[in-house]
Homo-oligomer: A and B are copies of this chain.
Amino acid sequence: MFEATIRAGRLREVLDAAGVLVDECRIHVCDEGLLLRAADPAMVALVDITLDAEAFESYEADGELLGIEIDRLAEVCRIADDDSLARLELDAEKRRLHVDIGSLSYELGLLDPNSIREEPDLPSVDPPATVVLEGEHLDRGIEAADMVADHLRLRVDDDVFVIEAEGDTDDVSVEFTRGDLLEVAPGQADSLYSLAYLTAMSRAIPGDAAVRLELGEEFLAGIQYEYAEGGPAVSYHLAPRLQTA
């Protein structure tokens, strides 16, 4: 059985972070909490989200796998206040998730988990360089790059983290020195990434979150952050674009 109670806003954080890459996803509800891992249809990026059982007001689960259409469940959360408690209960037989929020009862039809692409493996490579900065700083840099091009370069130069973009007529670069960064572990790092993905991720990341970037040369970048007060931990991975010579 799966039966749990959680703040509506907390559940929405999980769905917003996943919705950056996919419309439908498989959510595992295990003893330790909720797990969600998915790759976007183009297989350029993946997202891995965990939400500990402790983040729930109450939580009981037997390792069920739920097939969720993200937008529909997110919309239910959105018409409630963030602090409203949402009671979730799986009706495995009818393949439905009951969602009760105050006077509202919603019966969400679940998807067959087997009809949804299986979870990709998580990459495990030691990153040559890592930097940690605030979400809003990252967002500002991505927004600046977006003015001139559809891809950007993430580069670490000694202890300076650089976001660069080259457009047809204009170039832009934003530099973050040690004073701007929460942490920096310098190393060889210089890769191009698609702005479409980064812009969508950046919109989901709270401005005050500490965002950890794992970077390298032509490197599958890691982008990690946690929501405040024991909220979901999110890890994106984004494949580099080929350098054009």
Contact = CB atoms under 8 A, between A and B. Distances in A.
Given A79-B140, A140-B79, A172 B103 contact: no
B72 A106 contact: no
Contacts of A144: 79, 104, 106
Residue of A103, A107, A174, A176 with highest tally of chain B CB at under 10 A: A103
A176 to B, nearest CB: 6
A174 B109 contact: no
Interface in A146-169: 147, 168-169
A173 B105 contact: yes
Contact of A147 (B72, B109, B140, B147): B72
Complex copy number for this chain: 3
A147 B79 contact: yes
Nearest to A166: B107
A175 B106 contact: no
B174 A103 contact: yes
Contacts of A76: 147
A180 B104 CA distance: 13
A180 B103 contact: yes
A83 interface: no
A115 to B, nearest CB: 13
Contact of A105 (B106, B168, B175, B176): B175
5 contacts: A79-B143, A104-B174, A105-B175, A106-B172, A109-B168
Given A106-B170, A108-B169, 4 more contacts: A69-B169, A76-B147, A103-B174, A107-B170
A173 B100 CA distance: 10
A143 B79 CA distance: 8
Nearest to A164: B105
B75 A105 contact: no
